[in-house]
Homo-oligomer: A and B are copies of this chain.
Amino acid sequence: MKTLKGEIVANRKYSDNLYKLEVFSPYICKNAKPAQFINIKCSRQGSDDPLLRRPFSIYEIDEQFNVFSVLFLVRGRGTQFMADLRKGESLDFVGPLGQPIKIPENDSRFVLIGGGIGVVPLCLIAKNLKSIGKTVHFFAGFKDEAFYTWERDLIKILKDYKIFSENGVFGEKGIPLNYIRENFSEFKDHHFIVCGPLEMLKQAQSFLKDRKVRAIAIMEEKMACGIGACMGCVIKIKNKNNGYSYKKVCSDGPAFDLMEVCFD
């Protein structure tokens, strides 16, 4: 991990509030692994407001051109700042951060379920799984049209995917978990990797737990340092004695065993 400055190669608008920021960085392209993230300074040089860096999963890595990207939704001050960045400007970020996801070597078939912006880390994971010859089914669910044009990125990674939208404006109407429920026999010996809103993770946990399916969750929490030094970004993880302990999303995660995450 390093503090880096990378030239912005492109900032592509996918929809009203979804952007893909492409950044030149040989260091990240060489060192970053799936599920890792970077911590972006979202204020001008010399300004400290907004103060904290913002964490973003690494979305794509183009090793040929040494360009990686992050895909982000505009939510507040930091992401608005990012949306306003222009080609040629410099991005100040720290990375790669977090533990690379540990792919269970013995499993060969994977189901990836992404909810909303949760699809981001799954894309790099999917690409990686494919490259090592695993079978991957990708399910993505969205609330609204923000991701309408995003399919063009997904289709480059794999063909076996299904996109759902709650209101049916694009893809199939519904949510991925319902589809999985209804067609569970197809997936029962797959390894699941899920990323998305807490409610989705919670439902996935309870559904998969009953069926004794193994699953990895990619988690989020508010961060300060992003490198494991401040104890700010903890979530509750079950431990052996039926209790829990706090684990750091930034340095113990962001990938955790879904069954060990406490949602309460």
Contacts and interface: CB of A to CB of B under 8 A. Distances in A.
A80 B49 contact: no
Interface string A76-108: 010011001000000000000000000000000
Interface string A37-51: 000000010111100
Contacts of A80: 46
Interface string A57-90: 0000000000000000000010011001000000
Nearest to A45: B80
Nearest to A76: B46
A49 B81 CA distance: 14
Contacts of A46: 77, 80
A90 to B, nearest CB: 13
Nearest to A86: B86
Interface in A145-165: none
A178 to B, nearest CB: 38
Nearest to A50: B47
A81 B81 CA distance: 14
A173 B48 CA distance: 42
A48 B49 contact: yes
Contacts of A47: 49, 77
Contacts of A84: 44
A49 B44 CA distance: 11
A130 B49 CA distance: 46
Contacts of A49: 47-49
8 contacts: A44-B81, A44-B84, A46-B77, A46-B80, A47-B49, A47-B77, A48-B49, A49-B49
Interface of A: 44, 46-49, 77, 80-81, 84
